[in-house]
A and B are shown apart, each in its own frame.
Chain A
């Protein structure tokens, strides 16, 4: 299954006259399974907005996101449901990734319930997920506030993996973590990618991380995407 951005433009309109401010225009690229596309650029250039558009959380002003050759807008309900499972997004702040009022166990089992997984299977898959993320079973009974940023980011990735995604948009997944934990998360991401052939769109302003992770790199600057 392929995921393509075709001539994407985004304009935010504000004020009484609805004046538009163009964030980026005519951005096109393709994500490949098992490979990482690194997206760099200065702050405020629309990297995260582009990520959200690719993940289907926001609509572009012009252009289209093509999943299996079909544009997201105008997709049939079943097709969109498949897209929703297959393309996931991981956010910057791990402390904000889980509902603070729910135990981790509930946040995880909710996802498995969404997939109609039977109860015994749910337990097995949760254990398997913890093993992949390298976390002990005790974390399940904790609330998010009782866990560290690194643990939460691992859990966030683990929860996404439960859905068997083919592409993950990683929006600065390590910028809220300290250096040693950053390395752990990046290695975990690499390991998961190698095992499951997941395509990543890695958004970061840290060149070293982009170079370490990506096969192809694009810079979003002055509203244009330049490939390097």
Chain B
């Protein structure tokens, strides 16, 4: 066993050296760079999270306080003011909470639905599996943004409607991943033993299968958050957001509709755009980090066998 491991290690080292010397490509360097990138994502995410949790510590003014409108950046207003005289920096900082809340809340809903459907479908198989997966396929084919626009036009535009609609329409990929992992886990010895010993299906799903799904679920949750934040921004930009709760998307929408673009006030529309990009990127990077670690663990598992 030891000999095999040493041989494998030697072999991989040789390959890496070969790639480094002949193809001018150092795999280890890229791996390190990727790890740093993930750590960067974590720091960036922590920064946005602190902004969202304690906006009053960082914002110079209240987001509703009014000053002279359309002011350019100055020492008093670092990012100027908007059409009704609100300080843009304060709006931006308070907006983090709304954008992240929409992202996380709808990701929670979609992860929960995806988890339940995927677990039941993979564990019970048979007719229930076919029905649930058929339903998932139907939901998968629905064009999301047009449907949300229609729903947004009919329903009262509020942040809760948005969270609910985004959450209810984005669980399919999570359900599929959870199902495939559950199908694999239900054939493992410990699940079969538990069935044989007479544990209930509910107990097996909660206590034996779910804990082994977390490492698959976590990256999916992060990516669902990122995609929900982007959807929220698109919808708010189209005017379907809740104007009483200013998110970064609503800031962009107002900058577009209330003279920010015409007056070339870049300090009004560039910062929310950058914030959305960075925040979504940080969440996606963390998600990719989790996925990468899972792949590494899987490889190590294969080698150990």
Report A's interface with B, CB cutoff 8 A: 55-57, 81, 84-85, 88-89, 91-93, 96-102, 107, 110-111, 114, 156, 159-160, 163
Known: A56-B196, A96-B190, A107-B190. 18 other contacts (CB 8 A): A55-B196, A57-B192, A57-B195, A84-B197, A88-B197, A89-B192, A89-B193, A91-B189, A93-B189, A96-B188, A96-B189, A97-B189, A101-B212, A102-B211, A110-B207, A114-B197, A156-B193, A163-B197
- 8 example contacts (A-B, Cβ-Cβ < 8 A) are as follows A84-B197, A88-B197, A89-B192, A91-B193, A93-B189, A101-B211, A111-B197, A114-B198
- Scoring B188, B190, B193, B208 by chain A CB atoms within 10 A of each residue's CB, the highest score goes to B193
Q: Mark B179-211, 1 if CB is under 8 A from A, else 0.
A: 000000000111011011111000000011001
When distances are taken between beta carbons in the complex, the residues of chain B under 8 Å from A57 are 192, 195-196
When distances are taken between beta carbons in the complex, the residues of chain B under 8 Å from A156 are 193
Contact yes or no, A84 B196, CB < 8 A: yes
Contact yes or no, A85 B211, CB < 8 A: no
Write the chain A residue with the least CB distance to B305.
A95
Contact yes or no, B189 A85, CB < 8 A: no
Q: Say whether chain B's binding surface is mostly helix, strand, loop, or mixed.
A: helix
Q: Mark B140-171, 1 if CB is under 8 A from A, else 0.
A: 00000000000000000000000000000000
Contact among B195, B196, B198, B211 with A99 in the assembled complex (CB-CB below 8 Å): B211
Whole-angstrom CA separation of A188 from B193 in the bound complex: 20
A64 → chain B closest CB, angstroms: 19
Contact yes or no, A114 B199, CB < 8 A: yes
Contact yes or no, A100 B212, CB < 8 A: yes
Write the chain B residue with the least CB distance to A90.
B193
A217 → chain B closest CB, angstroms: 24
B191 → chain A closest CB, angstroms: 8
B212 → chain A closest CB, angstroms: 6
Whole-angstrom CA separation of A84 from B196 in the bound complex: 6
Whole-angstrom CA separation of A99 from B196 in the bound complex: 15
The count of residues in chain B whose C-beta lies closer than 8 Å to any C-beta of chain A is: 14
Write the chain B residue with the least CB distance to A83.
B198
B159 → chain A closest CB, angstroms: 37
Contact yes or no, A97 B198, CB < 8 A: no
Contact yes or no, A81 B190, CB < 8 A: no
When distances are taken between beta carbons in the complex, the residues of chain A under 8 Å from B195 are 57
Whole-angstrom CA separation of A93 from B305 in the bound complex: 12
Contact yes or no, A97 B197, CB < 8 A: no
B3 → chain A closest CB, angstroms: 16
When distances are taken between beta carbons in the complex, the residues of chain B under 8 Å from A101 are 211-212
Whole-angstrom CA separation of A102 from B197 in the bound complex: 17
Write the chain B residue with the least CB distance to A97.
B189
Whole-angstrom CA separation of A109 from B278 in the bound complex: 47
Contact yes or no, A99 B197, CB < 8 A: no
When distances are taken between beta carbons in the complex, the residues of chain B under 8 Å from A159 are 193, 197
B89 → chain A closest CB, angstroms: 45
B70 → chain A closest CB, angstroms: 58
When distances are taken between beta carbons in the complex, the residues of chain A under 8 Å from B199 are 110, 114
A177 → chain B closest CB, angstroms: 14
When distances are taken between beta carbons in the complex, the residues of chain B under 8 Å from A56 are 196
Whole-angstrom CA separation of A16 from B280 in the bound complex: 45
Closest 8 CB pairs of A and B: A96-B189, A84-B198, A101-B211, A91-B189, A97-B189, A99-B190, A89-B196, A99-B208
Whole-angstrom CA separation of A101 from B211 in the bound complex: 7
Contacts A93-B189, A98-B190, A110-B207; is A88 near B212 (CB within 8 Å)?
no
Whole-angstrom CA separation of A111 from B197 in the bound complex: 8
When distances are taken between beta carbons in the complex, the residues of chain B under 8 Å from A89 are 192-193, 196
Whole-angstrom CA separation of A91 from B191 in the bound complex: 11
Whole-angstrom CA separation of A91 from B194 in the bound complex: 12
